[in-house]
Amino acid sequence: MALERIPALIREEGGISRASDPQMIKDIQSAVSIPVMAKVRIGHFAEAQILQALEVDFIDESEVLTPADEHNHIWKHDFTVPFVCGCRNLGEALRRLGEGAAMIRTKGEAGSGNIVEAVRHMRQVQSDIKKLTVMDQDELMAGSKNMGAPFALVQQVAKLGKLPVPNFAAGGIATPADASLMMQLGAETVFVGSGIFMSEDPAPRAKAIVEAVTYYKDPKKLVEISTGLQSAMKGLDMSEIPEEERLQERGW
């Protein structure tokens, strides 16, 4: 992920947070062989056009940056580069898919170092999906209305018993155990929290979290992976973050 400031610093320093400098993204692309993802503000399709011209591999329409449009998300069908978008529940996920998102991530609370909101959002999405799987067609139509989601996608999720695209977990994942927890709750993979850069051992911690995604069902392996790491980022209790300052509240 190409970022000028990690979410924890965005929260701490305040101000308007925008898409990254194109030169910084070019430098990252030149330095690495892995896919490069970059963030744009919610609704800022011009930033997305620039990132597509830069040939980034993925775009994250992110609540971490200051929203550019309070009413509209980007119409992602106009782009060839795949988008990932955040959600707190199934309705939000399906609205983003209706706009053309290729991947979904549960929002959590970025920059908090606290896994509780990621857990809440993943459990909510999974609960919403389970409810759809036992509904009749007339109930699905009512469910579509209540969620504000496209009916065809509601029908598809009810049939599949899962989202039709990969569902990542994000926001507050700071330890290998956090990654294992989210995988066991139904995530198909995780975004390693950028808060690792606020820890005492960013590189070993990132490697350990990646390994935890592979071995998330193997407690003995998780012991090995987790042993010897230094302190994670301090993190914030949700009571310390006023509701109006919670990044997850951005977007709809």
Residues marked as catalytic: 39
Contact 58, 82 (CB under 8 A): yes
Round to whole Å and give the CA distance between 232 and 178.
Answer: 11
Round to whole Å and give the CA distance between 155 and 249.
Answer: 27
Q: Is 144 helix (H, G, I), strand (E, B) or coil?
A: helix
DSSP 18-39: -PPPHHHHHHHHHH-SS--EEE
Tokens of 124: 């909510």
Residue 122 CB-half CA count within 13 A: 28
Q: Could you tell me where the beta strands, DSSP code E, fall in 88-132?
A: 103-106
> Length of the chain in residues, anyone?
252
Backbone angles phi, psi at 32, to 5 degrees: -125, 160
